[in-house]
Structure 1
Amino acid sequence: MIKNIKTPIGLFYINSIIFLLSIFPLKVSSETKIVAKSGDTLFKISKQYGVTLKELMYKNNLNDATKIIEGEVIIIPHTGIDKHKKNEHLTYKVIEGDTLYKISRDYNVSLNDIISVNNLRKDSYLKLNQIILLPKGAKYKKEINIENIKVASKKVFYHKTTKTEDLSTIAYLHKIPIEQLKTLNKLTDPIKIKPNIKLRLRKDKPLKWIKYGSLMINWSDWTYFDGNYIAQSKTKKNKTFYLALSCKKRVLNNTLINSYWTSWYFPETDFEFKLINDFCDQDFNF
């Protein structure tokens, strides 16, 4: 007696496709990545990108074509890339000190676009070495001026933070380890760096006042701030103020008048020219 066997049509259809695809050779020459959206399965993505289910399962080491894979990073083989270029994404590996805002700024893309393409929230915590997908058109924007790096890498001892900086940028600028910044400044949450904070870059050195004309400048107090350099200074009448230099523009500023910064001005006296030349063009000896 022959018994009737009832097989779910959907499952039979999918298993038949997998069997048929198994006889075809795998051809993959390049690839990109996407983040699976709500309701996505490998079967759905294979139809969307025009790639074989076998290729998709093989590249992603998955064996269930019907499983919901929302939020997972899925590799799309070459054939699917050509047919779906509008969904191309660069990938970025998270390093220490990264935030979503920093990544969006460095790659000149919208923060909301990064959040959307990765199915994240604005307050999502990034893990070290986590892979982040970048929207199409993302391009690294090097914001650190080379001339500033040349001078900043000299032995200035402090860095005053701005709104857009983080520890990794500051460490790179001054060519010092991030751990050194954490230790010297006793940072418990190094990812959140508030603006206008004076961070110590190196161990304290004895005060070293150097005379320039009618001024005395605390050479061990030079602080980097937003591309400029600031140091505590004194007049011959022992009045304390702050002096600022811009090596890029070769100009000065000070707080002599009522403790407020004046307008930037070009050097006029011999000692002002010598000061800029010594600071901007010579190596520091401590």
Structure 2
Amino acid sequence: MATTFLRTSDLAQELDVHVNTIRIYEASGFLSNVPRGTNGYRQYRAIHLEQARLAHLALHWPYVGNKQHLIDLVKSAANDDLGMAMEFAYEYLADVRAERTHAEAAIAFLERWAAGYALDASSHPMHIRQAAAHLNVSIDMLRNWERNGLLTVPREPANQYRLYGSAELGRLRVIRMLVKSGFSLAAILRMLQQADSGNSRNLRDALNIPSEEDTHDYVVVAADRWLASLLKLEQRAQEMIELIGRMIEMLHTQ
């Protein structure tokens, strides 16, 4: 029985991408060797389609961590080292889940602050250099957060130097933890504006659901809905694991 080969356009149509994307996958080493017929046309097999599907699933933004790890995963599959690809996929799943844990912890920290609990016990106001050292951040970061509207810092009447008291330092701790956990400044500002208006309920949703005005004013990126994005990334990692499992089964049945 003659083998039925697939064309570049067949792979592109299946993945809903341009044919040049498939050619880039091949040139990048994301597909195993593709033989050519006597007419010079590429002769893709079913395994090439699954390899292209894995590359498409793994490498489109957003992703967590170092993209090179995902590239190594895809290339391992292309080199028929599916055991290594599966190992990389589970490591990536662990990375995504760790990011989710950090994001959830940051939100719990936020909710404690919103409930009125003090987050800093500093007994005297600090100037910006002292505050930066106290929080282990740079002066530029403090200025940037203020410039982006995340907080207003009172000033000394005599010289207009910034004075950070316990309230400002506590708020900055929330901002710093959310930033470190991957939330965008736009999402944090949206949440803080809601909290400052007296509505401290559902601040988690404020971090993850842009307002109607936001969606009309700019393109909402993944970091503006980071927790929701992490849930999707975990699902994507699970899909990668299932796909590699199918590829292993395909090779075993050949």
**TM (normalized to structure 1)?**
0.23
Q: Work out which structure has the larger RCO, using CA pairs closer than 8 Å and 6 or more positions apart in sequence.
A: 2
User: Would you tell me which structure has more strand in proportion to its own residues?
Assistant: 1
User: Would you tell me which structure has more helix in proportion to its own residues?
Assistant: 2
Larger Rg: 1
**TM (normalized to structure 2)?**
0.26
